[in-house]
Structure 1
Amino acid sequence: MSGAPILPGATLGVLGGGQLGRMFAHAAQAMGYATAVLDADPESPAGLVSQQHIRTAYDDPQGLATLAAACAAVTTEFENVPAAALQTLARSMPVSPAAAAVAVAQDRAAEKAHFVRCGVPVAPHTVIDSEAALATVDAAALLPGILKTARLGYDGKGQVRVATPGELAAAWQQLGRVPCVLEKMLPLAHECSVIVARGADGSLVHLPVQRNLHRDGILAVTEVFEGNVPPALAGQALAAAKSIAQGLDYVGVLCVEFFVLEGGGLVVNEMAPRPHNSGHWSQNGADVSQFELQVRCMAGLPLTQPRQHSASIMLNLLGDLWLRGPDGAAATPPWYQVLRLPGCHLHLYGKASPKPGRKMGHLNVTAASPEGARATALQAAALLGIAPF
């Protein structure tokens, strides 16, 4: 993006109407912008809180034209928005992140190749896109492993664990013989992520390294405080994330997820070209949230380095927490008791129907010390029926 910044009073658009779009809209509106959302779902969380909701498919020409006419700039909250839609919008306005960067994140094979070009360590892997590729897999080097569809996989979807060549062949059939990436399973100590924000002028800021716990392929807990990740590893993760963003000439908020190995090494897992679940803590634990950074990037405003002011823990609130009534009926979680705990900040996404594994909201816990944050977060988890961590 070049030219004058887009100042408050303008309308900012977002492709995708989920919870990330909703929280982007809240941040933009707090800064004085109007928001417009393109999402086909009439009850999309972002559409419900925006001044304009365009209810069409992401690639609908009329919908895109309406969005372009309404907005001064557009972003996305969902990496599987068609890159072609972003290209169409970019002909008439600033779009961040750019279609080319989103296209890389949409394809695990292209993503892995980009990481390698940036000199960032990755797990041993290979692309399986044909019977010939399947037949030449080096089982000794890559099994046991995880077979992942190259496109359209998230939150553990489109992934199968395989231990033998026979299981690998069956898994490829199960996934529809679509292009896949086979990654060797490595002994993991834990997982972490880094969120960076990069402006069109090349300026780059970041949030602290976030330590993450996943359950059933879905993020469950994020902990952010000094010492949550050894300093040397944190420095490596931050340098890698910056390299990945700069290598894409990226504009916007980018999350890069890493595996920390039992031996202390670090390998990159994947990236998300948008704000990320693991960065939600920044809404209450830092002076600039990941969503304000998203607004600043797309509007061409200055990027100031966020400062963490509280030890923070984020608990993901899945639909399972509601389905605890008789015979699995929906029941309201004990918000009153949770919100009596000091430093608890509830964020719900406006989704009407809870389902198992569906992200309904999150709870940010802030405290003056890591010990205080953990103690309160564990109390909240016990009240909500979330397993301890």
Structure 2
Amino acid sequence: MTAVPAPLPPGSTIGILGGGQLGRMLSQAASRLGFDVVILDPEENSPAGRVSRGQIVAAYDDPTALSVFGRVCDVVTFEFENVPAASVELLAEAGALVAPGPTALAVAQDRIDEKTFLNAVGATTVAFAAVDRADDITANLDQVGLPCLLKTRRDGYDGKGQVWIRDAADVPEAWAAIGGRPAILEARAAFTRELSIIAARGRDGSVAVYPLGENHHAGGVLRTTHAPARVDAKTLKRAKAIATAVLEGLAYVGVVGIELFDLGNGKLLVNEIAPRVHNTGHWTQDGCVCDQFEQHIRAVAGWPLGPTTAHARVEMTNLLGDEIEQWSNLAARPDQRLHLYGKSEARPGRKMAHVNRVTSL
């Protein structure tokens, strides 16, 4: 049996692959716990780099940069799942302590592998089929049913890389729309709402689960999360079981976000998993004593997991593009907490900040 590494003491260095807003908020949480943080990101002066001890400016697959990064950091984690899994494997093979591990990253990066894993651990998904060419779509329409969703097998996020197929005649156009890339064909889920659950697993195997959030999207992008979501005991029990199965099935260390389709009567399907802190967990910053960012740092550093009970009700809203110009008015609201990401350019649809509106439970 492999020994569990000793908890990292304050003053240790945590490395984060990725310098965006999630890395920034992870770095801020780590600083509160007395850790130093080093970022590896190809963008100079990244949002996370500016609030950290230092940043290595290099590509995620730069072997020299990864070697230096692994040597200066006591543990390495990542802020988003599109970091090359091979880079995480290289760090682990060189002896760096990496959490979550490369297996979780690899599973989450491939939608076929992800859904195969989920069903294997009892976290049911919609029916699906692998697609390597346009003919595969047509051949699987009877199995999956219409309408169905065609998604690129890798890389897509925030509604990108996916298209609905409502008729067999749509197949050629849909295939062209995703660039003729390897894909997954997914059955439509007849769900009443989307829920998500944020959960964590420590190095000692302990599991902590936050209350569910209810999510609302526009244009494929998350706009709001209401938490704690109003759910019955049966639904909550099932969501916790799914989270535990995913965490234990991956021997996971850290925080994971799991998006769920609520079919009613306690029946849930898993849409996808994110092996990192998650946009739908931002509400925990102002609704819980220990938010998802501190929880992730605690887990990867080998500390005890923090409490997950909500002490307030929160409506989290993403600010996209030039909506950030509302910052002055939002900052003046006594019932709201504004979290800005420090990004220099407000491009249309780009996540620039979020605001948590806090009310009593």
TM-score (normalizing by structure 2): 0.95
What one-letter code is carried by the residue in structure 2 that aligns with 1:204? V
What are the within-5 Å matches in structure 2 for residues 179-328 of structure 1?
179-225=182-228, 228-261=230-263, 265-322=267-324
Residue 343 of structure 2: aligned partner: 351
What one-letter code is carried by the residue in structure 1 that aligns with 2:126? A
Paired residues of 1:252 and 1:274 also in contact (CA < 8 A): yes
Alpha-carbon separation, structure 1, partners of 2:199 and 2:297: 13
What one-letter code is carried by the residue in structure 2 that aligns with 1:152? D
Residue 112 of structure 2: aligned partner: 109
Structure 2, unaligned runs of 5 or more: none
User: Are 1:39 and 2:46 matched, yes or no?
Assistant: no
1:20 to 19, 22, 36: 22
Paired residues of 1:23 and 1:291 also in contact (CA < 8 A): yes
User: What is the DSSP-based 3-state SS (H/G/I as helix, E as strand, rest coil) of the residue aligned with 2:81?
Assistant: coil
| Change in CA separation of 1:221 and 1:41 when aligned onto 2, cut-off 3 Å | same
Paired residues of 2:134 and 2:175 also in contact (CA < 8 A): no
Which string of whole-angstrom CA distances, capped at 9 and with x for unpartnered residues, describes residues 60-93 of structure 1? 0111112112110000001010111111111322
User: What is the DSSP-based 3-state SS (H/G/I as helix, E as strand, rest coil) of the residue aligned with 1:170?
Assistant: helix
Paired residues of 1:139 and 1:164 also in contact (CA < 8 A): no
2:142 to 139, 144, 153: 139
Residue 8 of structure 1: aligned partner: 10
How far is the alpha carbon of 1:13 from its aligned partner?
0.3
Paired residues of 2:100 and 2:275 also in contact (CA < 8 A): yes
How far is the alpha carbon of 1:207 from its aligned partner?
1.0
Residue 67 of structure 1: aligned partner: 69
Which string of whole-angstrom CA distances, capped at 9 and with x for unpartnered residues, describes residues 227-255 of structure 1? 52333212212211111111111111111
How far is the alpha carbon of 1:132 from its aligned partner?
5.0
User: Are 1:366 and 2:345 matched, yes or no?
Assistant: no
Which string of whole-angstrom CA distances, capped at 9 and with x for unpartnered residues, describes residues 157-183 of structure 1? 100011112212321233222211111
Paired residues of 1:142 and 1:182 also in contact (CA < 8 A): no
RMSD: 1.6
User: What is the DSSP-based 3-state SS (H/G/I as helix, E as strand, rest coil) of the residue aligned with 2:192?
Assistant: strand
1:165 to 162, 168, 182: 168
User: What is the DSSP-based 3-state SS (H/G/I as helix, E as strand, rest coil) of the residue aligned with 1:137?
Assistant: helix
| Change in CA separation of 1:161 and 1:135 when aligned onto 2, cut-off 3 Å | closer
Alpha-carbon separation, structure 1, partners of 2:232 and 2:271: 19
Paired residues of 1:147 and 1:168 also in contact (CA < 8 A): no
User: What is the DSSP-based 3-state SS (H/G/I as helix, E as strand, rest coil) of the residue aligned with 1:160?
Assistant: strand
How far is the alpha carbon of 1:297 from its aligned partner?
1.1
How far is the alpha carbon of 1:284 from its aligned partner?
1.2
What one-letter code is carried by the residue in structure 1 that aligns with 2:185? L
In the alignment of these two chains, the number of paired residues is 358
Paired residues of 1:286 and 1:309 also in contact (CA < 8 A): yes
How far is the alpha carbon of 1:135 from its aligned partner?
4.1
How far is the alpha carbon of 1:189 from its aligned partner?
1.4
Which string of whole-angstrom CA distances, capped at 9 and with x for unpartnered residues, describes residues 122-163 of structure 1? 112211123553342133742111100010011111000111
Which string of whole-angstrom CA distances, capped at 9 and with x for unpartnered residues, describes residues 330-389 of structure 1? xx31x34323333211100000110111000100121213xxxxxxxxxxxxxxxxxxxx
Residue 149 of structure 1: aligned partner: 152
User: Are 1:52 and 2:54 matched, yes or no?
Assistant: yes
Paired residues of 1:58 and 1:85 also in contact (CA < 8 A): yes
Residue 128 of structure 1: aligned partner: 131
What one-letter code is carried by the residue in structure 1 that aligns with 2:289? D
Residue 328 of structure 1: aligned partner: none
What one-letter code is carried by the residue in structure 2 that aligns with 1:92? G
User: Are 1:338 and 2:338 matched, yes or no?
Assistant: no
What one-letter code is carried by the residue in structure 2 that aligns with 1:112? K
Alpha-carbon separation, structure 2, partners of 1:74 and 1:34: 12
What one-letter code is carried by the residue in structure 2 that aligns with 1:172? W
Alpha-carbon separation, structure 1, partners of 2:62 and 2:90: 11
What one-letter code is carried by the residue in structure 2 that aligns with 1:363? V
Paired residues of 2:134 and 2:171 also in contact (CA < 8 A): no
What one-letter code is carried by the residue in structure 1 that aligns with 2:67? A
Alpha-carbon separation, structure 2, partners of 1:187 and 1:208: 23
| Change in CA separation of 1:280 and 1:117 when aligned onto 2, cut-off 3 Å | same
Which string of whole-angstrom CA distances, capped at 9 and with x for unpartnered residues, describes residues 270-325 of structure 1? 00000000101111110001011111111111113322111111111111414xxx
Structure 1, unaligned runs of 5 or more: 323-331, 370-389
Paired residues of 1:155 and 1:217 also in contact (CA < 8 A): yes
Paired residues of 1:105 and 1:272 also in contact (CA < 8 A): yes
